[in-house]
Structure 1
Amino acid sequence: MGFRDISVFNLAMLAKQVWRLIHNEQSLFYRVYKVRYFPNCSFLMEELGSNPSAVWRSLLATREVVREGSTWQIGDGSRIRVTTHKWLPNAPAFLHEPNAEMKVRELIDQSSRQWDRGKLAATFTLRTCKQILSLPLNQLDSYDTLVWTKNKAKTFSVKTAYRVALRLKSAALAEHLSAREHGVTWGKFGSSTYLRRCEHFCEGHAQIVYQQGTTCAIERSKSGATCEFCCQELETVAHIL
């Protein structure tokens, strides 16, 4: 079947169950978990909690796969958070600090059933406005839905979820290795030997600068030069100190 990484394959299989959980809100599976684990928000927004079961922990582990492989299709806009949900080709760019709770519904003129161009122009950059205006609003009478984007049919499959999970794992591994490499480098900078050398270097150069400054001040005081900082008194050594 081409699934070489068993742990990633298991994650893709769990992601399939999560996809069913999200899209079958009338099922017993959804209703039980809704009451028990995410009563006040959606599955994708819920936190792990203080005492999670092994099953709940496993289901939450698939959320990055689901988020990466899907996008929100706009219905009435009541479920999609503008700042945190994936509903545009690129992350929205704002002109000012946005309201974290703002929903897509607030960007729609309910009387004309079109995008509120004035509100868009006052909230987003020109590029983001163009992306939003390119989205059709022909399903305002239905709920927002999460659509799988990793195949032409736009239907979830374990095979495409496996590819998404594998890519995420590879990216996380690369980031981890990079962090370790930089950690070794910073560890050298933080060693006591290196710090002592830096201290001696700074002390030596500070003494040289001080001596040179004092010499210059003596020469300037002999010529009756005025202090460059206060522009009032003569620049003597006593005045500088």
Structure 2
Amino acid sequence: MPWGSPENQISEWNRELIRPSLENSDNGTETYVHALSEIVTQMVRANRTKEARETVALLDGLKAHRAPLYSAIAAAQADAGDVQGARVTLSYAETDEQRAARRKEMTRLVDLLKQRQDSEELRQLRALQTREYDTLPALEAIALAWTRKGSLTEASNIANDLDFHKRCDLYEEIANMLVVSVGKSEALRWARTLSAPSDKAYALVGIASAIFSSEQRNETTK
């Protein structure tokens, strides 16, 4: 079926979105949710954010999978510069207070599992980790949106709450974006303010990557 414009895509999908998933398997549901994520993202880009949120709220058959859909909407809002709107949308998936409580519980469960293996505690931890994974795209997009606005404290606060690998990756992205937006000197000055050596190292990698990419572009235009 030809898709045409994003608006036509949205209209076509709106007639289908609230139908139950056609497959009961985990793979089928995952594919369905991924497709819906793409559609609600297009809705936001077409200035239909309110409709996108309302559509997700109607998905009774996918209540357990609403978080990644709200996260996709929030990420698209942040990419468009609507940071406050993105934070509101993300709260439909998880509020700041809920996120803090969940991460505290994750830490507790990890500590317990270091002492003993318990299948129920492991199941609980995996469920909490899934919510972290579901909301991560929105959090990263909001951090980068804060970066574009020059609010590096807000961006760093989001990064600092992530686990080691995700935090380092985000600092690398923030640094890369800073070189593009404000220049190498300002990016280096910011990187030096980071307290953790690992955060600083990944920020410097991001700076180096941005400089290299810029030099490569300059070479191709000569």
Superposition TM-score tier, normalisation by shorter sequence: under 0.3
> TM-score, normalization: structure 1?
0.23
TM-score by length of 2: 0.24
Bigger helix share = 2
Larger radius of gyration: 1
Greater length-normalized contact order (CA 8 Å, ≥ 6 residues apart): 1
